[in-house]
Amino acid sequence: MAVSETSSRLKVMLAATLGSTLEWYDFFIFGASSVLVFYRVFYPPGDAFVATMLSLGAFAVGFLARPLGGIVFGLIGDRIGRKHTLVVSLLMMGFATLAIGLLPGYDTIGVAAPIILVLIRIVQGIAVGGEATGALTLVAESMAPAHRGFWTAFPMASGPAANVLALGLLGLLQFALGETEYMSWGWRIPFLLSIVLIAIGFWARRRVDESPAFQALKTAKAVAASPLAVALTDQKLPMARVFFIKAAENTLLYLFSTFALLFATKWLALTAAQAVDIVLVASAFSLPVILGAGWLSDRIGRRSVMLAGLLLAVASAFWLFTATQGATPGDLQLRMILCLCTHGLLLGGLAPFVTESFPTAVRYTALSASYQAASVLGGSVAPLIGA
C-alpha cells in the first residue's frame, strides 16, 4: 500500500473516531448528569425518586429521537456523501450540549426548565442518530476488507472512550470543587467545554476525504434516488438482524454505564464520586478489548467474536446486579471491569458486521434506521426498568 494511501486512511480513522468521541462525550455527560445532578436542578423539589425518574425520562427521550436522526442523516449521507453529513451532526450535538450548560434551573424559570431540557435532548438524539453509523460507514468504506474489523473498532471504541473522558472530567470536578460547589454550578463546566470540542472536531472532519466507495458510486451515477424505500424493500432481513443484535448490545451498554451509577449510589450506598470512578476505570479497561476484538474478527470471523461477547456480557450482568448492600467499592470495581470488557468483545465484532451487512448505495440509511431504532428498545428502556 502506498504511503499516501495509508496516510489518507489513517486520517479518515482519526477524524471519524475523534468526532464520534466528542459527540458521545456530549451524550454521556447528559446520561451521567441525569442520575447525579439533573433531578435536583431542573425538577421540582420534593420526592427525589420521582425527580430521578423524570430525569431518566428526559435521558430516554434522546433515544426516541435517534431513529429520526438516523433516517434523516442516512438519507442525506446516501445522497450527498458521508463527510459533510458528519460535520453537520457534530455541530448540532455540540451546540445542543452548550445550551444545557447555559440553561437556568427550576428555581429560576420553573417548569420551563425541564421542558427546554427535553427539547435540547431531542436535538442531541437526532444528532447522535446520524453520527454513530455515519462514522462507522465512512471508516468501513475507506479500509481494505481484510483489516476492516480492526479499523472499524476505533470509531466503535469512541463510545467507551467518551465515557472515560466524561466521567474523568466529572470526577475531577467533584474532587476539586467539592459536592456543594459542584452541585451549585460546577456541573455546568463539562457542558460549556463542548464549544472547544466542537472546534476540534470540525477542524478534523473538514480535512478528510469522502469514502472511496461512495465516490465510485457517484462516478458511476448509481446513487440511490430513494435510499429508504430501497432499503425497506431489499434489505429487510439484514435490517432486522442488525436491529436485534444492536438492541441486545445497547441494553447491556446502558445497564453497565448509566444504570450502574444509580445502582451503586442508591442501592449499594456508594458516593457519587466512587460510582463515577468505578465506571471510569472499567470503561478504560474495555478500550483495548474492543480494538483486540476487532482485530480478532478479521481472523476468526465477526459472528464468533460477537456471540462470545454477548454470552459473556449477559453472564457478567448477573454477577454485577446480584451485588448485595454492603458490597465494597473494590468488589463492585471487579464486577464492572468484567462487564464492560465482555461488552467490549461484543462491540469489536459488531462494528464490521453491521457495516458489511448492506450495499454501498443504501448502507448509511439502512444501517442508521435499524441501528438507531434498536437503541430505543435497548438504551432508553434499560435504565428506567432498572430504576
Domain range annotation of the chain: 3-386
**Cβ distance 286 to 312 under 8 Å?**
no
For the chain, give the mean pLDDT. Answer: 88
Residues 6+ apart with CB under 8 A from 60: 380, 381, 383, 384
Residues 6+ apart with CB under 8 A from 248: 310, 378
pLDDT, position 94: 87
% of the chain with per-residue pLDDT over 90: 42
What would the grid cell of residue 297 be? 474478527
Residues 6+ apart with CB under 8 A from 274: 264, 329
Four-way CATH pick for 3-386: 3.40.50.720, 1.10.10.10, 1.20.1250.20, 3.40.50.300: 1.20.1250.20
Least confident of 55-59, 71-75, 338-342: 55-59
| Res 179 pLDDT > 60 | yes
Q: What are phi and psi of 320, to 5 degrees?
A: -65, -50
Residue 299 or 4, more confident: 299
Mean pLDDT value of segment 44-63: 83
Which of 173-177, 304-308, 327-331 has the largest mean confidence? 304-308
- Which of 373, 244, 270, 273 lies closest to 327, judged by CA? 270
Burial class (CB in 10 A: 0-12, 13-18, 19+), 190: buried
As a three-state string, the secondary structure of the chain is CCHHHHHHHHHHHHHHHHHHHHHHHHHHHHHHHHHHHHHHHCCCCCCHHHHHHHHHHHHHHHHHHHHHHHHHHHHHHHHHCHHHHHHHHHHHHHHHHHHHHHCCCHHHHCCHHHHHHHHHHHHHHHHHHHHHHHHHHHHHHHCCHHHHHHHHHHHHCHHHHHHHHHHHHHHHHHHHHHHHHHHHCHHHHHHHCHHHHHHHHHHHHHCCCCCHHHHHHHHCCCCCCCHHHHHHHHCHHHHHHHHHHHHHHHHHHHHHHHHHHHHHHHHCCCCHHHHHHHHHHHHHHHHHHHHHHHHHHHHHCHHHHHHHHHHHHHHHHHHHHCCCCCCCHHHHHHHHHHHHHHHHHHHHHHHHHHHCCCCHHHHHHHHHHHHHHHHHHHHHHHHHHHC
Reported as a single tens digit per residue, the pLDDT across 352-362 is 999 999 999 99
pLDDT, position 319: 93
Mean pLDDT value of segment 178-196: 90
pLDDT, position 6: 67
CA distance linking residue 154 with residue 142, whole number of Å: 13
pLDDT, position 225: 84
Least confident of 108-117, 258-267, 289-298: 258-267
Which of 20-34, 122-136, 155-169, 298-312 has the largest mean confidence? 298-312
Amino acid letter, 381: V
Mean pLDDT value of segment 9-34: 83
Residues 6+ apart with CB under 8 A from 216: 360
